[in-house]
Protein backbone atom coordinates (compact mmCIF):
# COMPACT_ATOMS: atom_id res chain seq x y z
CA UNK A 1 0.00 0.00 0.00
CA UNK A 2 1.06 3.56 -0.62
CA UNK A 3 1.39 5.36 2.71
CA UNK A 4 0.85 8.69 0.94
CA UNK A 5 -2.70 7.66 -0.05
CA UNK A 6 -4.03 6.62 3.35
CA UNK A 7 -4.14 7.87 6.91
CA UNK A 8 -3.35 4.83 8.99
CA UNK A 9 -0.89 4.99 11.82
CA UNK A 10 0.99 2.72 14.19
CA UNK A 11 1.16 4.59 17.51
CA UNK A 12 3.34 3.27 20.32
CA UNK A 13 5.56 4.15 23.24
CA UNK A 14 9.24 3.41 22.77
CA UNK A 15 9.77 2.56 26.44
CA UNK A 16 6.53 1.48 28.11
CA UNK A 17 6.01 3.18 31.45
CA UNK A 18 3.71 0.46 32.80
CA UNK A 19 6.00 -2.47 31.98
CA UNK A 20 9.51 -1.10 31.47
CA UNK A 21 9.73 -2.98 28.17
CA UNK A 22 11.10 -1.67 24.87
CA UNK A 23 9.06 -1.95 21.70
CA UNK A 24 10.61 -3.94 18.85
CA UNK A 25 11.26 -0.92 16.65
CA UNK A 26 12.89 -2.82 13.79
CA UNK A 27 9.83 -5.09 13.53
CA UNK A 28 7.47 -2.11 13.57
CA UNK A 29 9.40 -0.46 10.74
CA UNK A 30 9.11 -3.69 8.74
CA UNK A 31 5.33 -3.78 9.32
CA UNK A 32 5.04 -0.10 8.47
CA UNK A 33 6.72 -0.62 5.12
CA UNK A 34 4.83 -3.83 4.38
CA UNK A 35 1.37 -2.33 4.94
CA UNK A 36 2.05 1.30 4.05
CA UNK A 37 1.33 2.71 7.51
CA UNK A 38 2.97 5.70 9.17
CA UNK A 39 4.72 5.38 12.53
CA UNK A 40 4.18 7.70 15.50
CA UNK A 41 6.71 6.95 18.23
CA UNK A 42 6.43 8.34 21.77
CA UNK A 43 10.00 8.64 23.09
CA UNK A 44 9.00 10.42 26.32
CA UNK A 45 10.56 7.83 28.63
CA UNK A 46 13.36 6.66 26.34
CA UNK A 47 14.78 10.02 25.23
CA UNK A 48 17.63 10.92 27.56
CA UNK A 49 17.44 7.44 29.07
CA UNK A 50 18.70 4.88 26.54
CA UNK A 51 21.02 4.88 23.57
CA UNK A 52 24.77 5.54 23.61
CA UNK A 53 24.27 9.32 23.82
CA UNK A 54 20.69 9.42 25.12
CA UNK A 55 18.93 9.87 21.79
CA UNK A 56 16.37 7.22 22.63
CA UNK A 57 15.14 4.01 21.07
CA UNK A 58 16.12 4.84 17.49
CA UNK A 59 19.74 5.15 18.58
CA UNK A 60 19.52 2.10 20.88
CA UNK A 61 17.99 -0.11 18.17
CA UNK A 62 20.17 1.24 15.37
CA UNK A 63 17.17 2.43 13.36
CA UNK A 64 17.56 5.66 11.33
CA UNK A 65 15.39 8.37 12.83
CA UNK A 66 14.03 9.05 9.33
CA UNK A 67 12.15 5.73 9.53
CA UNK A 68 9.89 7.30 12.18
CA UNK A 69 7.30 9.59 10.60
CA UNK A 70 6.40 11.48 13.77
CA UNK A 71 8.29 11.38 17.07
CA UNK A 72 6.91 12.96 20.23
CA UNK A 73 8.80 13.63 23.45
CA UNK A 74 7.49 15.00 26.73
CA UNK A 75 9.81 17.60 28.23
CA UNK A 76 8.64 16.68 31.74
CA UNK A 77 11.05 13.79 32.25
CA UNK A 78 14.71 13.79 31.18
CA UNK A 79 14.55 17.44 30.12
CA UNK A 80 13.20 18.61 33.49
CA UNK A 81 10.69 21.07 32.04
CA UNK A 82 7.05 20.97 30.91
CA UNK A 83 5.37 20.73 27.53
CA UNK A 84 6.55 18.58 24.68
CA UNK A 85 8.31 18.24 21.36
CA UNK A 86 7.02 16.88 18.07
CA UNK A 87 9.52 15.98 15.37
CA UNK A 88 9.24 14.83 11.78
CA UNK A 89 10.36 15.57 8.25
CA UNK A 90 9.79 18.93 6.58
CA UNK A 91 6.38 17.86 5.24
CA UNK A 92 5.15 16.83 8.69
CA UNK A 93 6.57 19.93 10.39
CA UNK A 94 4.97 22.27 7.85
CA UNK A 95 1.61 20.54 8.25
CA UNK A 96 1.79 20.86 12.03
CA UNK A 97 2.66 24.54 11.82
CA UNK A 98 -0.35 25.13 9.59
CA UNK A 99 -2.85 22.95 11.48
CA UNK A 100 -1.67 23.92 14.96
CA UNK A 101 -1.32 27.66 14.47
CA UNK A 102 -4.28 28.50 16.70
CA UNK A 103 -3.10 26.23 19.47
CA UNK A 104 0.45 27.59 19.33
CA UNK A 105 -0.80 31.17 19.70
CA UNK A 106 -3.19 30.33 22.56
CA UNK A 107 -1.03 27.88 24.52
CA UNK A 108 2.57 28.56 23.57
CA UNK A 109 5.31 27.62 26.03
CA UNK A 110 6.57 30.39 28.35
CA UNK A 111 10.18 31.44 27.62
CA UNK A 112 11.56 29.98 30.87
CA UNK A 113 10.11 26.55 29.99
CA UNK A 114 11.79 26.54 26.59
CA UNK A 115 15.03 27.86 28.10
CA UNK A 116 15.12 25.07 30.70
CA UNK A 117 14.53 22.42 28.03
CA UNK A 118 17.18 23.98 25.78
CA UNK A 119 19.73 23.91 28.60
CA UNK A 120 18.94 20.25 29.27
CA UNK A 121 19.36 19.44 25.59
CA UNK A 122 22.70 21.24 25.55
CA UNK A 123 23.83 19.24 28.58
CA UNK A 124 22.71 16.00 26.94
CA UNK A 125 24.51 16.96 23.74
CA UNK A 126 27.77 17.66 25.58
CA UNK A 127 27.68 14.98 28.28
CA UNK A 128 25.26 12.41 26.88
CA UNK A 129 27.79 9.59 26.60
CA UNK A 130 28.98 10.05 30.19
CA UNK A 131 25.46 10.38 31.58
CA UNK A 132 24.17 7.30 29.75
CA UNK A 133 27.14 5.23 30.95
CA UNK A 134 26.49 6.32 34.53
CA UNK A 135 22.76 5.65 34.20
CA UNK A 136 23.26 2.15 32.80
CA UNK A 137 25.78 1.37 35.54
CA UNK A 138 23.15 2.39 38.10
CA UNK A 139 20.50 0.24 36.40
CA UNK A 140 22.87 -2.74 36.49
CA UNK A 141 23.59 -2.09 40.18
CA UNK A 142 19.88 -2.08 41.04
CA UNK A 143 19.09 -5.22 39.03
CA UNK A 144 21.99 -7.12 40.62
CA UNK A 145 21.04 -5.85 44.07
CA UNK A 146 17.42 -6.93 43.72
CA UNK A 147 18.46 -10.44 42.66
CA UNK A 148 20.86 -10.89 45.58
CA UNK A 149 19.01 -9.00 48.34
CA UNK A 150 15.33 -9.77 47.90
CA UNK A 151 15.71 -13.53 48.43
CA UNK A 152 13.68 -14.55 45.41
CA UNK A 153 10.60 -12.61 46.53
CA UNK A 154 10.84 -10.22 43.57
CA UNK A 155 11.34 -10.90 39.86
CA UNK A 156 12.60 -8.30 37.39
CA UNK A 157 10.07 -8.11 34.55
CA UNK A 158 11.32 -4.98 32.75
CA UNK A 159 13.99 -4.70 30.05
CA UNK A 160 17.56 -4.93 31.32
CA UNK A 161 18.42 -1.50 29.86
CA UNK A 162 15.33 0.29 31.14
CA UNK A 163 15.83 2.85 33.94
CA UNK A 164 12.13 2.32 34.70
CA UNK A 165 12.39 -0.97 36.58
CA UNK A 166 9.36 -3.15 37.26
CA UNK A 167 9.41 -5.83 39.95
CA UNK A 168 6.73 -8.50 40.40
CA UNK A 169 6.23 -10.87 43.32
CA UNK A 170 7.98 -14.18 42.71
CA UNK A 171 8.74 -17.52 44.35
CA UNK A 172 7.00 -18.22 47.62
CA UNK A 173 5.64 -14.68 47.83
CA UNK A 174 3.76 -15.08 44.54
CA UNK A 175 2.65 -18.64 45.32
CA UNK A 176 1.28 -17.61 48.70
CA UNK A 177 -0.79 -14.80 47.19
CA UNK A 178 -1.96 -15.94 43.73
CA UNK A 179 -4.67 -13.28 43.35
CA UNK A 180 -3.58 -10.07 41.67
CA UNK A 181 -5.58 -7.92 44.10
CA UNK A 182 -3.75 -9.37 47.09
CA UNK A 183 -0.39 -8.96 45.36
CA UNK A 184 -1.21 -5.33 44.71
CA UNK A 185 -2.13 -4.85 48.38
CA UNK A 186 1.30 -6.19 49.38
CA UNK A 187 3.10 -3.98 46.89
CA UNK A 188 1.15 -0.89 47.93
CA UNK A 189 1.97 -1.62 51.57
CA UNK A 190 5.62 -1.85 50.50
CA UNK A 191 5.35 1.54 48.81
CA UNK A 192 3.88 3.11 51.95
CA UNK A 193 6.58 1.56 54.11
CA UNK A 194 9.28 2.91 51.82
CA UNK A 195 7.68 6.35 51.86
CA UNK A 196 7.89 6.41 55.66
CA UNK A 197 11.63 5.76 55.27
CA UNK A 198 12.08 8.57 52.73
CA UNK A 199 12.17 6.35 49.65
CA UNK A 200 9.70 7.16 46.88
CA UNK A 201 8.68 4.28 44.64
CA UNK A 202 5.27 3.37 43.24
CA UNK A 203 3.23 0.55 41.73
CA UNK A 204 2.18 -0.06 38.14
CA UNK A 205 -0.88 1.92 37.11
CA UNK A 206 -3.27 -0.06 34.93
CA UNK A 207 -6.90 0.29 33.91
CA UNK A 208 -9.51 -2.30 34.78
CA UNK A 209 -9.41 -5.18 32.31
CA UNK A 210 -5.93 -4.42 31.00
CA UNK A 211 -4.25 -7.62 29.84
CA UNK A 212 -0.71 -8.87 30.28
CA UNK A 213 1.66 -9.16 27.33
CA UNK A 214 0.24 -11.69 24.89
CA UNK A 215 -3.28 -11.22 26.26
CA UNK A 216 -2.94 -14.02 28.81
CA UNK A 217 -4.50 -12.95 32.09
CA UNK A 218 -4.56 -9.52 33.73
CA UNK A 219 -1.58 -7.18 33.69
CA UNK A 220 0.91 -8.05 36.41
CA UNK A 221 0.98 -6.12 39.67
CA UNK A 222 4.44 -4.59 39.95
CA UNK A 223 6.59 -2.17 41.87
CA UNK A 224 7.96 0.62 39.70
CA UNK A 225 11.35 2.15 40.39
CA UNK A 226 12.90 5.08 38.53
CA UNK A 227 16.71 5.10 38.40
CA UNK A 228 18.68 8.28 37.69
CA UNK A 229 22.24 8.96 36.63
CA UNK A 230 22.74 11.28 39.62
CA UNK A 231 22.28 8.48 42.16
CA UNK A 232 25.40 6.98 43.74
CA UNK A 233 26.02 3.35 44.70
CA UNK A 234 25.49 3.93 48.43
CA UNK A 235 22.09 5.49 47.76
CA UNK A 236 21.05 2.60 45.51
CA UNK A 237 22.22 -0.04 47.99
CA UNK A 238 20.27 1.62 50.78
CA UNK A 239 17.17 1.84 48.58
CA UNK A 240 17.33 -1.88 47.74
CA UNK A 241 17.64 -2.83 51.41
CA UNK A 242 14.72 -0.56 52.27
CA UNK A 243 12.53 -2.19 49.60
CA UNK A 244 13.47 -5.65 50.87
CA UNK A 245 12.70 -4.75 54.49
CA UNK A 246 9.34 -3.16 53.69
CA UNK A 247 8.35 -6.01 51.36
CA UNK A 248 9.20 -8.61 54.02
CA UNK A 249 7.07 -6.77 56.58
CA UNK A 250 4.16 -6.49 54.13
CA UNK A 251 4.29 -10.21 53.29
CA UNK A 252 4.33 -11.16 56.98
CA UNK A 253 1.42 -8.83 57.70
CA UNK A 254 -0.81 -10.26 54.97
CA UNK A 255 0.17 -13.84 55.78
CA UNK A 256 -1.07 -13.20 59.29
CA UNK A 257 -4.45 -12.14 57.90
CA UNK A 258 -4.96 -15.30 55.82
pLDDT at residue 3, rounded to an integer: 60
Q: What is the pLDDT of residues 55-109, one digit of tens each?
A: 999 999 999 999 999 999 999 999 999 988 888 888 888 888 888 878 777 777 8
Query: Has residue 1 got a pLDDT over 80?
Result: no
Query: Has residue 145 got a pLDDT over 70?
Result: yes
Q: How far apart are CA 173 and CA 244, in angstroms?
A: 12
pLDDT at residue 215, rounded to an integer: 63
Q: What is the mean pLDDT of residues 17-22?
A: 94
Q: How far apart are CA 72 and CA 62, in angstroms?
A: 18
pLDDT at residue 5, rounded to an integer: 67
Name, in order, each residue with C-beta under 8 angstroms of 172's C-beta and a sequence gap of 6 or more.
152, 153
What domains are defined for the chain?
A: 3-109 (3.40.640.10), 128-256 (3.90.1150.10)
- Per-state percent for the chain, helix, strand, coil, to nearest 5: 50, 15, 35
DSSP 98-166: HHTHHHHHHSPPPHHHHHHHHHHHHHHHHHHHHHHHHHHHHHHHHHHHHHHHSTTSEEE-S-TT-SEEE
Q: How far apart are CA 227 and CA 137, in angstroms?
A: 10
pLDDT at residue 152, rounded to an integer: 85
| Three-state secondary-structure class, residue 250 | helix
Amino acid sequence: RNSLKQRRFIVTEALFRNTGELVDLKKLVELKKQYGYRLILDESFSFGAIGATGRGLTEYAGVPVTEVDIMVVSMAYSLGSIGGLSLGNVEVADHQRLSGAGYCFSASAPPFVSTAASMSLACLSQEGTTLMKRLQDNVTTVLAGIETTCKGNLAIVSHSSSPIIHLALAGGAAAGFPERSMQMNILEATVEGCKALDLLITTSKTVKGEKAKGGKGPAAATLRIAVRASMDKAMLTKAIKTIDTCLTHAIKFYKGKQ
